[in-house]
Amino acid sequence: MAVSQVIPGLFLCFAAMVLLIFVSVSVPTWDRVSFLNVGIGANQLRYGVFGFTGSKTQIGYLFTDDRINTGILHNLTKTLILHPIAAALAGLAFLFGLCGAGYHRSGTILMTLLSGLALLATLVAWVIDMALFGIARHRYREDGIPAQYGNANWLTLGALVALMLGFCASACGVFGRYSPRRRDPVY
């Protein structure tokens, strides 16, 4: 028997998973989604989770400006792997939410726990995104090169908000009614 209290949390976890998947396949895989856009026009350089425009796909990369290539910032690019991890956690929360909506309360409880973990991973990823690409953006602008945030930062923020609301909705969904009402026997 489906529990209607679980449906909002289920939808929000699914939305967050989709947003985080979009972020995870950013530049160099998909050129439409990036964290930082540097330059103007055809020579614009875009940075993503696994690299930048024209680079090979890898975990952790160096920026094209030598002033930005510090050990700390290079290691922070390795932490961008949190985006696909958060997407996987949100996906698992969605799958357990399906079980909770259709079968048993334990699925909803696991959905709440996994959406909470996905929320923490996404929060850490978003803070790192803003710090890492904020520093890079500032240094590019100091050199007179136009740099602006890309849409992946805001997609991650949208996923963060969706997971926050999804966690609250799934926590409330745990208290829904899972068994049919007991009817008095008719004689």
Q: Following DSSP, what letter does each residue of 57-109 receive, concatenated?
A: P-SS---SSTTT--HHHHHHHHGGGHHHHHHHHHHHHHHHHHHHHHT-HHHHH
Give the Cα separation of 79 and 110 in Å (integer). Answer: 26
Residues 68-96 pLDDT 10s: 999 999 999 999 999 999 999 999 999 99
CB-based contacts of 18, cutoff 8 Å, min separation 6 = none
Task: Report the pLDDT value the prediction gives residue 1, as an integer from 0 to 100.
Answer: 46
Number of H helices, E strands in the chain: 5, 3
Looking up tokens 């690409």, which residue turns up?
Answer: 133
Distance in angstroms (rounded) separating the CA atoms of residues 132 and 125: 10
pLDDT given at position 103: 78
pTM of the complete model: 0.91
Other beta carbons within 10 Å of 186: 4
Two tokens at 177? 């009614």
| Grouped pLDDT means (10 residues each) for the chain, 187 residues | 77 98 96 96 94 94 91 95 98 93 85 97 98 96 96 98 96 73 65
Is the distance from CB of 125 to CB of 176 less than 8 angstroms? no
Burial class (CB in 10 A: 0-12, 13-18, 19+), 135: middle
Q: Among candidates 155, 160, 117, which has minimal Cα distance to 27?
A: 155
User: Is there a contact between 8 and 169 (Cβ–Cβ < 8 Å)?
Assistant: yes
Angle formed by the axes of helices 82-102 and 152-173, nearest 10°: 30
Q: What is the pLDDT of residue 100?
A: 82
- Residues pairing with 46 in the sheet: 37
What are the phi and psi torsion angles at 52 (to 5°)?
-135, 175
HSE at residue 53, side-chain half, CA atoms within 13 A, is 14
